[in-house]
Copies of this chain bind each other. A is one copy, B any other.
Amino acid sequence: MKVSLLGPRGTFSEEAALKFFKSPEMVYRGEIEDIFEDVLEGRADYGLVPIENSLEGSIGITLDLLLKKDVKICGEVVIDVKHSLMVLPGTALEDVREVISHPHALAQCRGFIKKRALKTKNFPSTAGAAREIAEKKLRNTAAIAPERAAGLYGLEVLERDIQDEDFNQTRFLVIALKDGSPSGRDKTSIIFALRHEPGSLYEALKPFASAMINLTKIESRPSRKALGDYVFYLDFEGHRSEKGVKKVLTELKERVAFLKVLGSYPAAKG
């Protein structure tokens, strides 16, 4: 079974894929949009895309693509993000002048970097930064990447868990052409836009409140059309095939200007 995800080997995405799938065949991609295209054009059975990080917030590009592209969500997986500092074997911590990584990883290790007065350089991927050091044999440069990347690229880990905040989780969505079958512990994700009327968000939420359905996420996002125009991303408990959920979605559709059901899928455990 083929899974398209952010590469190269050793990314946090790969860690998430290994947690979710039994024996995935990985298709490594550089851009989140490529992953959506792989699923839509049949080059992969599943796609795995980051959706939110507890420190950085939502991944805007993923939210935008969920609105634009006709994929379904069939699963989710949450991983703990732990950053390691890695170098070419033989480089000592006091020889490190510059550290390269994804801007989010650099931001999440700001305290560590500042304390050691290291220069930083952005790189499109954490694991890619590790590979860069190995391939170009960069001395005096370290990568911040998942510990697994060190083993894959022959680097040495100088420090583990260098992130400023202990609680740092990333949630990934598994996308496909179909959503998930009922599992008994499901969530449903939808996107909607409101009519321009006072009370329209309140009216849109009424069916959920009346049915005592728990919202697990609500996020508004500028529509990119005009300032003050929003689309809403809503996750709630239940499967769209359940009678109560069906009724709520029917009622919601009558109250909003636009509704897209992204699908139902088993909620990630803890």
Q: Is A90 an interface residue (CB 8 A)?
A: no
Contact between chains at B209 and A198 (CB < 8 Å): yes
B201→A57 contact, CB < 8 A: no
What's the interface size class on A, roughly? 35 or more
Tell which of A171, A216, A228 has the most Cβ of chain B within 10 Å: A228
The residues in A between 199 and 215 inclusive whose CB is less than 8 angstroms from any CB of B are 199, 201-203, 205-206, 208-209, 212-215
Residue of A78, A122, A205 ringed by the most chain B CB atoms within 10 A: A205
A156–B206 Cα distance when bound, in Å, is 57
Q: Counting CB contacts under 8 A, is A22 at the interface?
A: no
Any B CB within 8 A of the CB of A181: no
**Nearest Cβ on chain B to A103's Cβ, whole angstroms:** 10
Report the minimum CB–CB distance from A77 to chain B (whole Å).
12
Contact B60 A222 (CB under 8 A): no
CB–CB A205/B201 < 8 A: yes
Contact A218 B201 (CB under 8 A): yes
Residues of B contacting A216 in the complex (Cβ-Cβ under 8 angstroms): 228
Q: Do residues A199 and B203 form an inter-chain contact, with CB atoms below 8 A?
A: no
Q: Which of B54, B212, B226, B227 contacts A199 (CB 8 A)?
A: B212
> CA A214 – CA B197 in complex, angstroms?
8
A57 to B64, CA, bound (A): 11
Are A224 and B52 touching (Cβ within 8 A)?
Answer: no
* Shortest beta-carbon distance from A80 to chain B in Å: 11
Cross-chain pairs A/B with CB under 8 angstroms, 9 sampled: A54-B222, A54-B224, A55-B224, A122-B122, A198-B215, A199-B209, A201-B215, A217-B228, A219-B230
Additional A-B contacts beyond A167-B225, A198-B215, A199-B208 (12; CB < 8 A): A52-B222, A54-B224, A57-B221, A57-B224, A169-B227, A171-B227, A199-B205, A199-B209, A201-B205, A202-B202, A202-B205, A219-B220
